[in-house]
Copies of this chain bind each other. A is one copy, B any other.
């Protein structure tokens, strides 16, 4: 098998003859003797057999369509309008590579320029790159960037950061030797400003999220930014962009760099990937020169017509090599284009309505869950709600599963001080019946 993808399978002999060779092996004569081997792998199968086999394997996954799920904690079930997938599956987008030849890649270049532009409107900063791998790596790159810009080596983060992001930050900061300092949360489940003031001295950057890991809106974003700036640190804001129809653009709240997850628009959960990290900054040469990632710019052609092209490449690895601002090359272009198409479909009204719907559904979830368990933090929640149970959460989770309901994300493991707590999440896709069924089930088991 496999030959059906390989036109010249049938032409091998003739081509070899034309080239004056007698066998393919001659083309591998530079490989040390004995290194060419037979592998212990199955032979190829027909497409039908593979389809049947993988369909069976993948059908073993229980989807959120079959089983109401209240998982969030950084990954959310948003609905992707059908036309988004349809459009990004057009082969001209899907099978292209990085637009090295702008004259035959204007479509992808313009789509990415539009992505950058749409994100710029959301976050309130004019410079946006065409994607990082995800929110977590974007945040880590922002930490490295802040160190390059300020020539300092401490990065301040909230203690209430997702374990995913915290671990990534740890890995990324090891090489350059950045110190990561955690600021605890206060009684409202938000960053403690007094503790921040203690931690900020000598910091390269300060990071805060809206909403935070507990699903709460961090109200003091502007103040945190001021504290950071006073200390000479960059202010990095992480944001769930689906909230930005109703919450102020971080750029307007003082952010120097905004990171976040673009794949919340236009992309399914895909068991966690691919996604696409937002990376935006102010139009300040010092910052732009130090930012990571690929950037598409508007320019003109030899005829003076408008056109698009990759730009500011001297920051990048293929030119600057060891001195590049980042090693990123392949990014998440198609994920970004899907996000752009979804955003263009929502428009300003849709984005606001989406935010409000999520807000209201989360409020309903919180209200109903508060009938069952302790809600440790007041405040406004968006998607995630932290809930503290008296019984061990593992058992509750088990009992919910038996009732074909997937409960929340257990946080007690990472934050022992929170006890038997879990994050339950709602989005615009959450149905009232699901929440009501959850509450009924919890009444029995929690």
Chain A residues at the B interface, C-beta cutoff of 8 Å: 4, 47-48, 51-52, 55-56, 65, 79, 81-82, 86, 89-91, 345, 428-429, 431
Contacts and interface: CB of A to CB of B under 8 A. Distances in A.
Nearest to A429: B48
Given A55-B65, A65-B55, A48 B90 contact: no
Contacts of A52: 65, 431
Given A55-B65, A65-B52, A47 B90 contact: no
Given A55-B65, A65-B55, A90-B90, A48 B428 contact: yes
Contact of A47 (B4, B56, B82): B82
11 contacts: A47-B79, A47-B81, A47-B82, A48-B428, A52-B65, A52-B431, A55-B65, A56-B65, A86-B91, A90-B90, A90-B91
A177 to B, nearest CB: 47
A91 B87 CA distance: 9
Contacts of A79: 47-48, 51
Given A47-B82, A51-B79, A55-B65, 14 more contacts: A4-B345, A47-B79, A47-B81, A48-B79, A48-B428, A48-B429, A51-B82, A52-B65, A52-B431, A56-B65, A86-B89, A86-B91, A90-B90, A90-B91
Nearest to A81: B47
Contacts of A345: 4
Nearest to A83: B47
Contacts of A428: 48
A47 B55 CA distance: 26
A217 to B, nearest CB: 25
Q: Report the 6 A-B pairs with minimum CB-CB distance, sorted nearest first.
A: A48-B79, A47-B81, A55-B65, A48-B429, A47-B82, A52-B65
